[in-house]
Amino acid sequence: MGVGPYTANAVASFAFNNGNAVVDTNVERVTYRAFDVPDDDDAFEAAARTLMPAGESRVWNNAIMELGGVACTKSPACDEAGCPWREWCDAYQSGDFTAPDVPTQPSFEGSRRQFRGRIVRVLGDGDEVGLDDLGHRIRVDYAPDGEHGREWLEGLLDDLADDGLVEVAEANGERVARLR
């Protein structure tokens, strides 16, 4: 069984203090956040090499990996862990703690999920509601021909109909929606 380049580099670094910078998920997260390094393997490697003090691979690699595992985690604990880079950290200054290995969930505020919930709540009274009336009741800036108008609303209603929650029909020459 052979030893891969990552493993050989890690052994040289930690055992003999003469390796290169080791880049793992924690190092990527720290360099991405603290130093605004782009999400690119080559960029992470180059940044880690540049940041590591010469002849200090053991200390550097231990320190940056530990920082990523303790303070700069997926949900950072900058203040609680006493991160030594807070003062200069790009993410700490901007408040943007996204990172390559941290999936982001879209904001609920203004999302399709939020408006689907509002539709169900409005229709929960059991009445049929005309599309434009429904639009005005779920969104203050609803305009039938606007960006968040009838076409947008019909898309939400189609999704809810596909989920078996809502029916859309014609009544008195107007499209209406109701809960199933």
Q: What per-residue confidence (pLDDT) applies to 150? A: 92
Residue 132: pLDDT over 50: yes
Q: What per-residue confidence (pLDDT) applies to 153? A: 94
Q: What tokens appear for 82 in the block? A: 């006493």
Confidence of residue 9 (pLDDT cuts 50, 70, 90): low
pLDDT in tens, 50-105: 998 988 888 888 899 899 989 999 888 888 888 888 888 988 888 888 888 765 55
Q: Is the whole model's pTM more than 0.85, yes or no?
A: no
User: What percentage of residues in the chain have a pLDDT greater than 90?
Assistant: 39
Q: What per-residue confidence (pLDDT) applies to 47? A: 93
Higher pLDDT, 112 or 137: 137
| Cβ-based burial of 78 (10 A; exposed 0-12, middle 13-18, buried ≥19) | middle
Residue 40: pLDDT over 60: yes
pLDDT in tens, 115-127: 899 999 999 988 8
Q: How far apart are CA 73 and CA 139, in angstroms?
A: 37
Higher pLDDT, 103 or 4: 103
Residue 10: pLDDT over 80: no
* Domain edges within the chain: 5-94, 112-179
Nearest to 104 by CA among 80, 81, 75: 75
Confidence of residue 106 (pLDDT cuts 50, 70, 90): low
The CATH class of 5-94 is mainly alpha
Q: Please tell us whether the domain made up of 112-179 is placed in CATH 1.10.10.10.
A: yes
- Average pLDDT over the chain, rounded to an integer: 84
Q: What is the b/e burial string over 2-31, where b = at least 16 CB atoms within 10 angstroms of the residue's CB?
A: eeeeeeebbebbeeeeebbbbbbebbbbbb
Nearest to 63 by CA among 102, 14, 6, 98: 14
The mean per-residue pLDDT over the stretch 6-27 comes to 66
Q: What per-residue confidence (pLDDT) applies to 18? A: 61
Q: What tokens appear for 61 in the block? A: 């690699």
